[in-house]
Protein backbone atom coordinates (compact mmCIF):
# COMPACT_ATOMS: atom_id res chain seq x y z
CA UNK A 1 0.00 0.00 0.00
CA UNK A 2 1.44 3.34 -1.01
CA UNK A 3 2.47 5.66 1.82
CA UNK A 4 3.95 9.09 1.17
CA UNK A 5 6.31 10.80 3.60
CA UNK A 6 7.47 14.44 3.72
CA UNK A 7 9.34 15.00 6.97
CA UNK A 8 11.16 18.30 6.34
CA UNK A 9 8.83 21.28 6.62
CA UNK A 10 8.74 24.44 8.73
CA UNK A 11 6.33 26.16 11.09
CA UNK A 12 5.09 29.71 11.41
CA UNK A 13 8.00 30.31 13.79
CA UNK A 14 10.66 29.98 11.08
CA UNK A 15 11.88 33.02 9.19
CA UNK A 16 10.25 33.74 5.83
CA UNK A 17 7.49 31.24 6.54
CA UNK A 18 3.73 31.63 6.30
CA UNK A 19 1.80 32.48 9.49
CA UNK A 20 -0.73 29.88 8.32
CA UNK A 21 1.71 27.05 9.12
CA UNK A 22 0.03 25.73 12.26
CA UNK A 23 -0.55 22.06 12.98
CA UNK A 24 -4.26 21.83 12.05
CA UNK A 25 -3.57 23.58 8.74
CA UNK A 26 -0.57 21.36 8.05
CA UNK A 27 -2.77 18.33 8.64
CA UNK A 28 -5.45 19.64 6.27
CA UNK A 29 -2.95 20.35 3.51
CA UNK A 30 -1.09 17.07 3.98
CA UNK A 31 -4.42 15.32 3.38
CA UNK A 32 -5.13 17.50 0.35
CA UNK A 33 -1.73 16.63 -1.09
CA UNK A 34 -1.91 12.92 -0.28
CA UNK A 35 0.83 12.92 2.38
CA UNK A 36 0.45 10.11 4.94
CA UNK A 37 3.31 11.12 7.25
CA UNK A 38 4.31 14.78 7.52
CA UNK A 39 7.05 16.33 9.65
CA UNK A 40 6.22 18.64 12.50
CA UNK A 41 9.27 20.73 11.69
CA UNK A 42 10.87 23.14 14.17
CA UNK A 43 10.50 21.06 17.34
CA UNK A 44 13.43 22.96 18.88
CA UNK A 45 11.37 26.17 19.09
CA UNK A 46 9.75 26.50 22.56
CA UNK A 47 6.47 27.98 21.35
CA UNK A 48 6.13 25.42 18.57
CA UNK A 49 6.89 22.55 20.93
CA UNK A 50 4.14 23.87 23.20
CA UNK A 51 1.74 23.73 20.23
CA UNK A 52 2.91 20.20 19.39
CA UNK A 53 2.07 19.16 22.95
CA UNK A 54 -1.26 20.99 22.79
CA UNK A 55 -2.48 19.87 19.36
CA UNK A 56 -0.94 16.44 18.83
CA UNK A 57 -1.09 13.14 20.65
CA UNK A 58 1.50 10.38 20.60
CA UNK A 59 0.08 7.20 19.10
CA UNK A 60 2.45 4.59 20.53
CA UNK A 61 4.31 3.94 17.28
CA UNK A 62 6.74 6.85 17.50
CA UNK A 63 4.44 9.10 15.46
CA UNK A 64 1.71 11.57 16.45
CA UNK A 65 -1.74 12.63 15.25
CA UNK A 66 -3.97 15.64 15.67
CA UNK A 67 -6.14 15.35 18.77
CA UNK A 68 -9.81 14.55 18.16
CA UNK A 69 -9.32 14.43 14.38
CA UNK A 70 -10.09 11.04 12.80
CA UNK A 71 -8.75 12.26 9.44
CA UNK A 72 -5.38 13.33 10.79
CA UNK A 73 -2.26 12.23 8.94
CA UNK A 74 0.62 10.99 11.02
CA UNK A 75 3.17 13.56 12.18
CA UNK A 76 6.85 12.75 12.64
CA UNK A 77 8.84 14.83 15.11
CA UNK A 78 11.40 16.71 13.02
CA UNK A 79 13.52 19.84 13.13
CA UNK A 80 16.19 21.54 11.04
CA UNK A 81 19.24 23.11 12.68
CA UNK A 82 21.60 25.57 11.00
CA UNK A 83 25.16 25.03 12.20
CA UNK A 84 27.58 27.91 11.52
CA UNK A 85 31.13 27.25 12.70
CA UNK A 86 34.78 27.22 11.68
CA UNK A 87 36.36 23.91 10.67
CA UNK A 88 39.60 23.13 8.85
CA UNK A 89 40.29 26.79 8.21
CA UNK A 90 36.92 27.62 6.66
CA UNK A 91 33.57 28.95 7.89
CA UNK A 92 30.92 26.24 7.47
CA UNK A 93 27.17 26.75 7.19
CA UNK A 94 25.37 23.41 7.25
CA UNK A 95 21.68 22.59 7.66
CA UNK A 96 20.84 19.24 9.24
CA UNK A 97 17.47 17.55 9.78
CA UNK A 98 16.81 15.78 13.07
CA UNK A 99 14.20 13.03 13.51
CA UNK A 100 13.07 11.92 16.98
CA UNK A 101 10.77 9.13 18.24
CA UNK A 102 9.02 10.94 21.11
CA UNK A 103 8.47 14.28 22.80
CA UNK A 104 10.55 13.06 25.76
CA UNK A 105 13.51 12.52 23.42
CA UNK A 106 12.92 15.93 21.82
CA UNK A 107 13.23 17.53 25.25
CA UNK A 108 16.57 15.77 25.77
CA UNK A 109 17.83 17.07 22.42
CA UNK A 110 16.76 20.60 23.35
CA UNK A 111 18.52 20.34 26.71
CA UNK A 112 21.69 19.13 24.98
CA UNK A 113 21.67 21.98 22.47
CA UNK A 114 20.99 24.60 25.15
CA UNK A 115 23.81 23.20 27.27
CA UNK A 116 26.12 23.99 24.33
CA UNK A 117 24.84 27.58 24.29
CA UNK A 118 22.19 27.31 21.57
CA UNK A 119 19.49 30.01 21.63
CA UNK A 120 16.44 28.21 20.32
CA UNK A 121 13.67 30.79 20.74
CA UNK A 122 14.67 33.21 18.01
CA UNK A 123 13.88 31.05 14.97
CA UNK A 124 12.15 27.78 14.18
CA UNK A 125 15.27 26.77 12.28
CA UNK A 126 17.80 27.90 14.89
CA UNK A 127 21.29 29.08 14.07
CA UNK A 128 23.76 27.43 16.42
CA UNK A 129 27.53 27.66 16.69
CA UNK A 130 27.79 23.91 17.18
CA UNK A 131 29.63 21.83 14.55
CA UNK A 132 27.54 19.29 12.67
CA UNK A 133 29.49 16.44 14.26
CA UNK A 134 28.67 17.72 17.74
CA UNK A 135 24.98 18.18 16.89
CA UNK A 136 24.95 14.53 15.82
CA UNK A 137 26.50 13.50 19.14
CA UNK A 138 23.87 15.45 21.08
CA UNK A 139 21.09 13.85 19.05
CA UNK A 140 22.34 10.29 19.53
CA UNK A 141 22.96 10.85 23.24
CA UNK A 142 19.27 11.71 23.55
CA UNK A 143 18.33 8.42 21.84
CA UNK A 144 20.01 5.93 19.51
CA UNK A 145 16.70 5.88 17.62
CA UNK A 146 17.21 9.45 16.45
CA UNK A 147 18.48 10.22 12.97
CA UNK A 148 20.39 13.18 11.60
CA UNK A 149 20.08 13.67 7.85
CA UNK A 150 22.07 16.45 6.13
CA UNK A 151 19.54 18.71 4.39
CA UNK A 152 19.53 19.87 0.73
CA UNK A 153 23.16 18.88 0.60
CA UNK A 154 24.15 20.69 -2.61
CA UNK A 155 22.66 24.12 -1.80
CA UNK A 156 25.51 26.63 -2.21
CA UNK A 157 25.17 28.49 1.08
CA UNK A 158 23.84 25.91 3.55
CA UNK A 159 24.45 22.43 2.12
CA UNK A 160 26.93 19.76 3.18
CA UNK A 161 28.50 19.85 -0.29
CA UNK A 162 27.59 23.48 -1.02
CA UNK A 163 30.01 25.57 -3.06
CA UNK A 164 30.15 28.44 -0.56
CA UNK A 165 30.74 26.75 2.78
CA UNK A 166 30.48 22.99 2.41
CA UNK A 167 32.72 19.97 2.30
CA UNK A 168 33.78 17.49 -0.39
CA UNK A 169 32.73 14.42 1.61
CA UNK A 170 30.55 13.28 4.50
CA UNK A 171 33.68 12.08 6.28
CA UNK A 172 35.32 15.51 6.15
CA UNK A 173 32.29 16.99 7.91
CA UNK A 174 31.37 14.32 10.46
CA UNK A 175 34.79 12.69 10.93
CA UNK A 176 34.60 9.73 13.36
CA UNK A 177 30.80 10.13 13.58
CA UNK A 178 30.34 9.56 9.83
CA UNK A 179 29.22 5.95 10.35
CA UNK A 180 26.01 7.33 11.88
CA UNK A 181 25.02 9.16 8.68
CA UNK A 182 22.81 6.86 6.60
CA UNK A 183 20.85 9.18 4.34
CA UNK A 184 21.23 12.46 2.45
CA UNK A 185 18.44 14.84 1.42
CA UNK A 186 18.61 15.76 -2.26
CA UNK A 187 17.21 19.31 -2.27
CA UNK A 188 15.15 20.91 -5.03
CA UNK A 189 18.08 21.64 -7.35
CA UNK A 190 19.37 18.06 -7.54
CA UNK A 191 17.96 14.61 -8.17
CA UNK A 192 19.22 11.05 -7.45
CA UNK A 193 20.77 10.71 -10.92
CA UNK A 194 23.15 13.57 -10.14
CA UNK A 195 24.25 11.94 -6.86
CA UNK A 196 24.97 8.60 -8.49
CA UNK A 197 27.74 10.08 -10.58
CA UNK A 198 29.77 10.15 -7.34
CA UNK A 199 30.70 6.57 -6.28
CA UNK A 200 31.42 7.39 -2.64
CA UNK A 201 27.79 8.45 -2.20
CA UNK A 202 26.42 5.07 -3.35
CA UNK A 203 26.14 3.82 0.24
CA UNK A 204 23.69 6.56 1.28
CA UNK A 205 19.92 6.41 0.99
CA UNK A 206 18.72 9.46 -0.93
CA UNK A 207 15.58 11.09 0.47
CA UNK A 208 13.57 14.05 -0.79
CA UNK A 209 11.42 16.52 1.12
CA UNK A 210 9.58 19.74 0.43
CA UNK A 211 11.34 22.07 2.90
CA UNK A 212 7.95 23.78 2.79
CA UNK A 213 7.75 27.41 3.94
CA UNK A 214 4.01 27.63 3.15
CA UNK A 215 1.08 25.24 3.09
CA UNK A 216 0.89 24.79 -0.71
CA UNK A 217 4.57 23.80 -0.81
CA UNK A 218 4.03 20.70 1.33
CA UNK A 219 4.75 17.55 -0.67
CA UNK A 220 6.51 19.27 -3.58
CA UNK A 221 9.19 16.63 -2.97
CA UNK A 222 8.51 13.49 -0.95
CA UNK A 223 9.23 9.80 -0.41
CA UNK A 224 7.00 6.92 -1.57
CA UNK A 225 6.96 3.73 0.51
CA UNK A 226 5.09 0.45 0.20
CA UNK A 227 3.73 -0.17 3.69
CA UNK A 228 0.61 -1.70 5.16
CA UNK A 229 -1.27 0.45 7.66
CA UNK A 230 0.02 -1.54 10.63
CA UNK A 231 3.62 -1.16 9.40
CA UNK A 232 3.61 2.63 9.58
CA UNK A 233 5.80 3.59 12.53
CA UNK A 234 8.81 5.72 13.38
CA UNK A 235 10.98 2.63 13.79
CA UNK A 236 10.03 1.18 10.40
CA UNK A 237 10.40 4.47 8.53
CA UNK A 238 13.84 5.14 9.99
CA UNK A 239 14.89 1.51 9.41
CA UNK A 240 14.05 1.96 5.73
CA UNK A 241 15.97 5.25 5.60
CA UNK A 242 18.97 3.58 7.22
CA UNK A 243 19.00 0.45 5.05
CA UNK A 244 17.64 1.77 1.76
CA UNK A 245 15.23 -1.18 1.68
CA UNK A 246 14.18 -1.23 -1.99
CA UNK A 247 11.21 -3.49 -1.34
CA UNK A 248 9.72 -0.86 0.92
CA UNK A 249 11.20 2.41 -0.43
CA UNK A 250 9.81 2.54 -3.96
CA UNK A 251 10.91 5.97 -5.20
CA UNK A 252 11.20 9.67 -4.44
CA UNK A 253 9.05 12.31 -6.06
CA UNK A 254 11.27 15.11 -7.28
CA UNK A 255 11.18 18.58 -8.71
CA UNK A 256 12.88 18.63 -12.06
CA UNK A 257 16.28 19.80 -10.73
CA UNK A 258 16.34 22.61 -13.29
CA UNK A 259 13.35 24.10 -11.45
CA UNK A 260 15.39 24.51 -8.26
CA UNK A 261 16.79 27.88 -7.29
CA UNK A 262 20.45 26.89 -7.49
CA UNK A 263 20.78 24.47 -10.41
CA UNK A 264 22.92 26.65 -12.71
CA UNK A 265 25.70 29.08 -11.81
CA UNK A 266 24.87 32.74 -11.96
CA UNK A 267 24.42 36.23 -10.61
CA UNK A 268 20.79 37.22 -10.14
CA UNK A 269 21.44 40.98 -9.91
CA UNK A 270 22.87 40.93 -13.44
CA UNK A 271 20.48 38.28 -14.82
CA UNK A 272 23.46 36.06 -15.58
CA UNK A 273 22.74 32.31 -15.74
CA UNK A 274 25.45 29.91 -16.89
CA UNK A 275 25.95 26.22 -17.61
CA UNK A 276 29.09 24.88 -15.85
CA UNK A 277 30.93 24.69 -19.19
CA UNK A 278 30.32 28.42 -19.69
CA UNK A 279 31.46 29.21 -16.16
CA UNK A 280 34.71 27.33 -16.74
CA UNK A 281 35.66 29.80 -19.49
CA UNK A 282 35.28 32.89 -17.29
CA UNK A 283 38.14 34.79 -15.63
CA UNK A 284 38.71 34.06 -11.94
CA UNK A 285 39.91 36.07 -8.96
CA UNK A 286 42.85 35.18 -6.71
CA UNK A 287 40.62 32.80 -4.72
CA UNK A 288 39.77 30.90 -7.88
CA UNK A 289 36.18 32.18 -7.96
CA UNK A 290 34.57 32.63 -11.38
CA UNK A 291 33.54 36.24 -11.96
CA UNK A 292 30.30 37.64 -13.34
CA UNK A 293 30.90 38.77 -16.95
CA UNK A 294 28.83 41.91 -16.35
CA UNK A 295 29.93 43.28 -12.98
CA UNK A 296 32.99 41.24 -12.06
CA UNK A 297 31.76 39.98 -8.67
CA UNK A 298 32.02 36.26 -7.83
CA UNK A 299 29.24 34.09 -9.24
CA UNK A 300 27.12 31.80 -7.08
CA UNK A 301 28.28 28.35 -8.12
CA UNK A 302 25.27 26.08 -8.35
CA UNK A 303 24.44 22.45 -7.82
CA UNK A 304 25.19 21.28 -11.35
CA UNK A 305 28.74 22.62 -11.14
CA UNK A 306 29.38 21.07 -7.73
CA UNK A 307 28.29 17.63 -8.88
CA UNK A 308 30.48 18.09 -11.96
CA UNK A 309 33.45 18.90 -9.71
CA UNK A 310 33.04 15.73 -7.62
CA UNK A 311 31.72 13.37 -10.30
CA UNK A 312 33.71 10.30 -11.33
CA UNK A 313 31.05 8.88 -13.64
CA UNK A 314 29.67 10.15 -16.93
CA UNK A 315 26.64 12.45 -16.98
CA UNK A 316 24.55 9.71 -18.61
CA UNK A 317 25.55 7.08 -16.04
CA UNK A 318 22.63 4.77 -15.17
CA UNK A 319 22.74 3.47 -11.60
CA UNK A 320 21.51 -0.06 -10.91
CA UNK A 321 19.71 -1.38 -7.83
CA UNK A 322 19.13 2.09 -6.42
CA UNK A 323 15.96 3.85 -5.32
CA UNK A 324 14.79 5.85 -8.35
CA UNK A 325 13.49 9.38 -8.48
CA UNK A 326 10.36 10.31 -10.43
CA UNK A 327 9.99 13.89 -11.60
CA UNK A 328 6.81 15.91 -11.53
CA UNK A 329 5.52 19.47 -11.56
CA UNK A 330 3.18 20.57 -8.77
CA UNK A 331 -0.49 21.01 -9.61
CA UNK A 332 -0.68 24.74 -8.90
CA UNK A 333 1.96 25.41 -11.56
CA UNK A 334 0.14 23.22 -14.05
CA UNK A 335 -3.20 24.96 -13.45
CA UNK A 336 -1.50 28.35 -13.71
CA UNK A 337 -0.02 27.33 -17.07
CA UNK A 338 -3.41 26.14 -18.26
CA UNK A 339 -5.09 29.41 -17.33
CA UNK A 340 -2.18 31.63 -18.30
CA UNK A 341 -2.36 33.16 -14.80
CA UNK A 342 -0.01 33.57 -11.85
CA UNK A 343 0.07 30.72 -9.33
CA UNK A 344 -1.11 33.12 -6.63
CA UNK A 345 -4.17 34.28 -8.60
CA UNK A 346 -7.62 33.60 -7.17
CA UNK A 347 -8.68 31.70 -10.27
CA UNK A 348 -5.76 29.28 -9.96
CA UNK A 349 -6.19 28.83 -6.21
CA UNK A 350 -9.93 28.25 -6.51
CA UNK A 351 -9.40 25.63 -9.21
CA UNK A 352 -6.68 23.95 -7.16
CA UNK A 353 -8.96 23.66 -4.13
CA UNK A 354 -11.86 22.45 -6.27
CA UNK A 355 -9.73 19.71 -7.87
CA UNK A 356 -8.12 18.53 -4.64
CA UNK A 357 -11.51 18.26 -2.98
CA UNK A 358 -12.23 15.54 -5.55
CA UNK A 359 -8.90 13.68 -5.39
CA UNK A 360 -5.48 13.87 -3.75
CA UNK A 361 -3.01 16.07 -5.62
CA UNK A 362 -0.48 13.26 -6.11
CA UNK A 363 -3.19 10.99 -7.55
CA UNK A 364 -4.23 13.77 -9.94
CA UNK A 365 -0.66 14.29 -11.09
CA UNK A 366 0.41 10.68 -11.43
CA UNK A 367 -2.46 8.21 -11.54
CA UNK A 368 -5.84 9.44 -12.75
CA UNK A 369 -6.57 8.60 -16.37
CA UNK A 370 -7.03 11.29 -18.98
CA UNK A 371 -10.76 10.56 -19.05
CA UNK A 372 -11.00 10.90 -15.27
CA UNK A 373 -9.12 14.19 -15.43
CA UNK A 374 -11.46 15.54 -18.13
CA UNK A 375 -14.39 15.05 -15.77
CA UNK A 376 -12.57 17.12 -13.17
CA UNK A 377 -11.07 20.09 -15.02
CA UNK A 378 -10.69 21.88 -18.33
CA UNK A 379 -8.92 20.68 -21.46
CA UNK A 380 -5.95 23.03 -21.03
CA UNK A 381 -5.12 21.71 -17.57
CA UNK A 382 -5.60 18.10 -18.68
CA UNK A 383 -3.25 18.68 -21.64
CA UNK A 384 -0.63 20.16 -19.31
CA UNK A 385 -0.87 17.23 -16.88
CA UNK A 386 -0.46 14.71 -19.68
CA UNK A 387 2.53 16.58 -21.08
CA UNK A 388 4.08 16.72 -17.61
CA UNK A 389 3.74 12.94 -17.39
CA UNK A 390 5.49 12.55 -20.74
CA UNK A 391 8.61 14.20 -19.30
CA UNK A 392 9.06 16.29 -22.45
CA UNK A 393 9.42 19.65 -20.80
CA UNK A 394 11.26 22.84 -21.66
CA UNK A 395 12.68 24.25 -18.43
CA UNK A 396 14.76 27.40 -18.04
CA UNK A 397 17.13 26.45 -15.18
CA UNK A 398 17.10 28.28 -11.87
CA UNK A 399 20.20 30.06 -10.55
CA UNK A 400 21.41 32.22 -7.66
CA UNK A 401 18.14 32.04 -5.73
CA UNK A 402 15.77 32.26 -8.72
CA UNK A 403 13.46 29.34 -9.42
CA UNK A 404 13.61 27.77 -12.86
CA UNK A 405 10.64 28.18 -15.18
CA UNK A 406 8.65 25.44 -16.89
CA UNK A 407 7.70 27.10 -20.16
CA UNK A 408 6.57 24.24 -22.40
CA UNK A 409 3.06 24.20 -20.98
CA UNK A 410 2.32 27.70 -22.26
CA UNK A 411 3.58 26.78 -25.73
CA UNK A 412 1.52 23.60 -25.73
CA UNK A 413 -1.65 25.41 -24.75
CA UNK A 414 -1.20 28.03 -27.46
CA UNK A 415 -0.64 25.28 -30.01
CA UNK A 416 -3.64 23.37 -28.73
CA UNK A 417 -5.92 26.35 -29.26
CA UNK A 418 -4.58 26.76 -32.80
CA UNK A 419 -4.46 23.08 -33.77
CA UNK A 420 -6.46 20.86 -31.40
CA UNK A 421 -5.84 17.70 -33.43
CA UNK A 422 -2.21 17.66 -32.24
CA UNK A 423 -3.34 16.72 -28.76
CA UNK A 424 -6.08 14.23 -29.41
pLDDT digits (tens, 9 = 90+) for 314-353: 988 988 889 999 999 999 999 988 888 888 899 999 999 9
Q: What is the mean pLDDT of residues 82-105?
A: 98
For residues 229 and 375, state if they share a domain.
no
In a domain, 310, yes or no: no
In a domain, 77, yes or no: yes
For residues 168 and 271, state if they share a domain.
no
* Rounded Cα–Cα distance for residues 385 and 25 (Å): 27
Quick: pLDDT tens for 148-174.
999 999 999 999 999 999 999 999 999
In a domain, 312, yes or no: no
CA dihedral 136, 156, 11, 19 (to 10 degrees): 160
In a domain, 323, yes or no: no
For residues 62 and 184, state if they share a domain.
yes
DSSP H helical segments within 95-154, as ranges?
Answer: 103-115, 132-142
Which one, of 336, 97, 67, lies nearest residue 216 by Cα?
336
* Rounded Cα–Cα distance for residues 75 and 395 (Å): 34
> Domain range holding 270?
265-301
In a domain, 317, yes or no: no
* Rounded Cα–Cα distance for residues 23 and 278 (Å): 45
Residue 337's contacts (CB-CB under 8 Å, 6 or more residues apart) are: 380, 384, 406, 409, 410, 413
CATH number of the domain residue 89 falls in: 3.20.20.140
C-alpha count within 13 angstroms, C-beta hemisphere, residue 112: 17
For residues 151 and 271, state if they share a domain.
no
In a domain, 308, yes or no: no
- Looking at 231, 259, 287, the residue that finishes a domain is 259
For residues 278 and 343, state if they share a domain.
no
* pLDDT interval class at 423 (50, 70, 90): very low
**pTM to 2 decimals?**
0.94
For residues 157 and 280, state if they share a domain.
no
Quick: pLDDT tens for 382-407.
988 998 998 888 899 999 999 998 87
* Rounded Cα–Cα distance for residues 190 and 210 (Å): 13
For residues 43 and 118, state if they share a domain.
yes
Predicted pLDDT at 410: 54
For residues 125 and 236, state if they share a domain.
yes
* Rounded Cα–Cα distance for residues 292 and 273 (Å): 10
* pLDDT interval class at 182 (50, 70, 90): very high
For residues 86 and 192, state if they share a domain.
yes
In a domain, 222, yes or no: yes
For residues 232 and 286, state if they share a domain.
no
* pLDDT interval class at 409 (50, 70, 90): low
CB atoms inside a 10 Å sphere around CB 329: 23
Total domains present in the chain: 3
Quick: pLDDT tens for 196-244.
999 999 999 999 999 999 999 999 999 999 999 999 999 999 999 999 9
Q: Is the pLDDT of residue 44 over 70?
A: yes
In a domain, 190, yes or no: yes
* Rounded Cα–Cα distance for residues 42 and 26 (Å): 13
Cα–Cα–Cα angle for 291, 296, 299, nearest 5°? Answer: 40
Whole-number percent of the chain with pLDDT over 90: 88
For residues 343 and 368, state if they share a domain.
yes
Quick: pLDDT tens for 363-374.
999 999 999 999
Write the CA distances from 162 to 91, 188, 314, 396, integer angstroms.
12, 13, 21, 22
- The lowest-confidence range among 37-51, 96-110, 310-324 is 310-324
Amino acid sequence: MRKIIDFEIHSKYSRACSPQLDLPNIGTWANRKGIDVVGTGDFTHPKWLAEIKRDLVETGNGLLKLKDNPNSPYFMLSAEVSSIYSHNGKTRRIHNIILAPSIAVVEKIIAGLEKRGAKLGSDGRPIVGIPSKEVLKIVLEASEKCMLIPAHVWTPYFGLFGSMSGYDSVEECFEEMSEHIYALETGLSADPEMFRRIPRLDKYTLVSCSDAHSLPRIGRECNVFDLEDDEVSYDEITRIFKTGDRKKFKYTLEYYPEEGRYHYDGHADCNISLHPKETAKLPKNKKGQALCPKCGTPLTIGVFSRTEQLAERAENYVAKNTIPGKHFVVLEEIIAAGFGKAVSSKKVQDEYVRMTEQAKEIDILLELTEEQLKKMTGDETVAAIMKMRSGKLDIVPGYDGKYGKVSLFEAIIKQKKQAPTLFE
